[in-house]
Amino acid sequence: MNVERIEVDSNILGGSVLAIHDFDANADFPGFERNYVEDHDPVYVSCKVPLEQISSIHLLEKAGFNFIECQVQASITLRKPFDVSAFPYSFEQVTHENDLPPVLEIAASTFTCDRFYLDPLIAREVAGRRYAEYVRKSFRTREECVYRLVDRSSGRTVAFKTHRLIGNREVLFLLGGVHPDFKNIGLGAASDYFEFNELIRRGIKRGVTHVSASNHAVVNLEIGNLGFRVLATSTVMRKIYRSTSARESVHHG
């Protein structure tokens, strides 16, 4: 087992946020926890384990971790481009800082199904700030890209997408969101079509995504309509350490 400090989340919560990797139910977890608490004084620690590993989930529960999300990992093979000629939008990579604010605005306001937004012990506004910072990170990271869907008639940014290159012909889909003013009119699917076409144009053959199982709209779209295939399901467990410095961000009810 090992822990990784998550920089964006740590900055948002005002203290170290850690992710446990390669969880081992047979290891000395109390000793492992004492060590990372001593080394990092964490605000928040998460651990993702396969959904079928019930014994690992129960062990984490005994250690004070709580279930916070069920995640679905799925992949798609990119073959034939979609016909987007009827859509009055353009799909543009964000390469200039002055084009970023409308994307950050969407990221900060559109997500309502993630584990931070739904967590009863985390202030609701934290989730929006967190997603905006992840978009900002993608803009500044060489292996990641930010795209926006623009209404050609008004020039308004109505949706966005981010992804990370993880190989010559593969990407990890990161974030995608529609402006709250334009939800429920099919823009989620439209932005997927445009993104897939851009990836195909660049020679990408495969994409992988992780989505919360509670986000029914995205699950239905990606798996039900777009042809994503489920690779794995995972349980995300988390523990909040209340004695840390993030009192303005973590509720203490």
Give the pLDDT mean for 49-54: 96
Give the pLDDT mean for 172-188: 92
- Name the 3-class secondary structure at 243: coil
* Nearest-angstrom CA–CA distance, 150 and 161: 12
Residue 149 has pLDDT above 70, yes or no: yes
The set of residues, in sequence order, having a beta carbon less than 8 Å from that of 160 and lying 6+ positions away, is 94, 103, 106, 107, 135, 146, 147, 148, 149, 175, 176, 177, 191
Give the pLDDT mean for 127-145: 95
pLDDT in tens, 198-245: 999 999 999 999 999 999 989 999 998 899 999 999 999 999 996 433
More confident residue, 84 or 123: 84
In the chain, the percentage of residues whose pLDDT exceeds 70 is 95
Q: Among candidates 38, 40, 16, 31, which has minimal Cα distance to 63?
A: 31
Residue 27 has pLDDT above 60, yes or no: yes
- Residue 240 — φ and ψ, nearest 5°? -105, 130
Model confidence at 183, pLDDT cuts 50, 70, 90, reads confident
**What is the structure's pLDDT at 242?**
67
Average pLDDT, the chain: 92
- Name the 3-class secondary structure at 143: coil
Give the residue ranges of DSSP H helices in the chain: 7-13, 29-40, 54-62, 101-109, 124-140, 187-201, 216-219
* Nearest-angstrom CA–CA distance, 199 and 193: 10
* Nearest-angstrom CA–CA distance, 2 and 134: 23
Residue 17 has pLDDT above 70, yes or no: yes
> What angle, rounded to 10 degrees, do the helices at 101-109 and 124-140 form?
150
Residue 96 has pLDDT above 50, yes or no: yes
pTM, entire model: 0.91
Which H helix or E strand runs over 228? none
Structural domains of the chain in order of their starting residue, each with its CATH number: 2-69+235-240 (no CATH), 79-204 (3.40.630.30)
